[in-house]
A and B are shown apart, each in its own frame.
Chain A
Amino acid sequence: MKIQGSYLLAGLMFAASGWSIQAAEVHVAVAANFTAPMQKIAIEFQKDTGHKALLAFGATGKFYAQIKNGAPFAVLLAADDKTPAILESEGNAIPGSCFTYAIGTLVLWSAQSGMVDDQGAVLKKGEFQHLAIANPKTAPYGAAAIKILTQLGLLDTLQPKLVTGENISQTYQFIATGNAELGFVAMSQVMFDGKLTSGSAWIVPTNLHEPIRQDAVILAKGKDQPAAKALVDYLKGKKATAIIQSYGYMLP
């Protein structure tokens, strides 16, 4: 066993020395809804390429402000397709590097089973204290939630019950702790391999909200970083797209 172990170690060291010629770190800003799949992808990415992706999770609007003010991110995985486009037009991103890496779906979710029916009628009944959404000003999933409520004609009646999380992760936290009975989160947060991981949910049909196209872009800071380009290529590859789909995202 001991000999085997040392062989393994030597092999690893050899592999590591092989990488070290070009292995690098790449700072990535990741939309909060994409947290779980991206953590998995980053592990595979490091295994396969040797590059290390350093991930920061948050609201897309916040990342936009940070990037404009010199944040060291090389790649942005946004929660929408507008932010990367604006960054590109303002010269903060590499022209032509923008692509859709996932298409997100909004889910009305409750941590209690039986709370949310599969038609979303629970919204009309209004028998709850708090409905959690992400901040519509900064989080695309929050803006989409407002659109759905407007389409359903329920925005005015439910407005007093709205509580907003700073990003979609905090929104999930409000619901998961039971402080808000239900709320709009990303499908990727509550479903895996097509199954609900807990509670009850209504997958909002696409006629009520447009699919949320999530674009990635290489930022100006990532211009001369091969690892940034490698990550973007990796996201388009088989392994990454399989992970992305397993979390309920669609692909373009």
Chain B
Amino acid sequence: MLSAVDLAAIWLTIKLATITTAILLIVGTPIAWWLARTRSRFKGLIGAIVALPLVLPPTVLGFYLLITLGPHGPVGQFTQWLGIGLLPFTFAGLVVASVFYSLPFVVQPLQLAFEAIGPRPLEVAATLRAGPWNSFFTVVIPLAKPGFITAAILGFTHTIGEFGVVLMIGGNIPEKTRVVSVQIYDHVEALEYAEAHVLAGGLLLFSFLVLLALYSRKGTRVWQ
């Protein structure tokens, strides 16, 4: 039912979503923590930048990524200087693009979870002589666990559903940048509707089940 090319696309998509989610949890946690705690006047600015991918069409993001990551762009010149070459048309490039693209889906649930904890538990932890790192790992992370689960699931599924940005900087290379959404597009374009249905139906079912599990969890609201 699934051809080798389809399977390769599925595997690549899962790999991309997993790596992206892992990076986003590491990068997104300090950003969300800062946004939740800070009284800096830059809070609005950083919050707006993080939220941009929510409203920007993928064509805008893809177009600017293509230019900035390209040989004449600042990031492209930096990666060439580092000796790793250019990022467009590579898996690493897709990871970089996906991290930007899915950033708000990880940062915002985390930020809301951190804000919901409030200062009180940390003050209590401090009176018990817990250092900031200690209290973060023993108090904040357990209390914000639902937020982490939501963030990870949304980051993962949103990356799986990515299409426009990948189309613009991926170059449709099998096993490197041809993810499931692009493969479905190719099948539809080539009028291979049967093949398209298998992948598209599978993706629909997968996304629905994940969201069903997420929204059905007891006692937690998705966006806290």
A142 to chain B, nearest CB (A): 11
Question: Inside 8 A of A61's CB, which chain B residues have their CB?
Answer: 189-191
Which residue of chain B has its CB nearest to the CB of A138?
B189
Binds A, one of B18-26, B81-89, B104-112, B199-207: B81-89
A166 beta carbon closer than 8 Å to chain B? yes
Is A212 at the interface (CB under 8 A from chain B)? Answer: no
* In the assembled complex, B67 has its CB within 8 A of some CB on chain A: yes
Residues of B within 8 A of A (CB): 66-67, 69-72, 85-86, 88-89, 167-169, 171-173, 186, 188-191
- Indicate if A109 sits at the interface (CB-CB under 8 A): no
Residues of chain A from 130 to 149 with CB closer than 8 A to chain B in the complex:
130, 132, 135, 137-138
Q: Would you call B88 and A137 a contact (CB within 8 A)? A: no
Complex Cα spacing A130 to B186, Å: 21
Report if A3 contacts B (CB, 8 A): no
Indicate whether A166 sits within 8 Å of B167 (C-beta atoms), given known contacts A59-B189, A62-B189, A65-B191.
yes
Whether B71 pairs with A178 at a CB distance below 8 angstroms is: yes
Q: A177-B72, A179-B86, A179-B88 are in contact. Are A164 and B67 (CB under 8 A)?
A: no
Q: Is A228 interfacial (CB-CB < 8 Å)?
A: no
Q: Check if B189 sits within 8 Å of A164, measured CB to CB.
A: no
Evaluate contact between A163 and B173: CB separation under 8 angstroms: yes
Interface of A is mostly: mixed
Give the 3 A-B CB pairs with smallest separation, nearest first: A163-B171, A178-B71, A179-B88
CB distance A179 to B66 under 8 Å? Answer: yes
Closest chain B CB from A161 CB (angstroms) = 9
Assuming the contacts A177-B70, A179-B66, asked whether A132 and B189 have C-beta atoms less than 8 A apart, the reply is no
Contact present for B85 and A129 (CB under 8 Å): yes
11 contacts between A and B (CB under 8 A): A61-B191, A129-B86, A129-B89, A132-B171, A137-B186, A162-B173, A164-B172, A166-B167, A174-B66, A179-B70, A180-B89
* A64: interface (CB < 8 Å): yes
A177 to B191, CA, bound (A): 31
B189 touches A137 (CB 8 A): yes
A74 to chain B, nearest CB (A): 22
The B-contacting residues of A in range 112-165, CB under 8 angstroms, are 129-130, 132, 135, 137-138, 162-165
**Is A89 an interface residue when CB atoms closer than 8 A count as contact?**
no
> Given A177-B70, A179-B71, are A165 and B189 neighbors across the interface (CB < 8 Å)?
no
Query: Measured between alpha carbons, how far is A28 from B84 in the docked complex, in Å?
Result: 44
Q: Please give me the residue from chain A that is nearest to B190 by CB atom.
A: A137
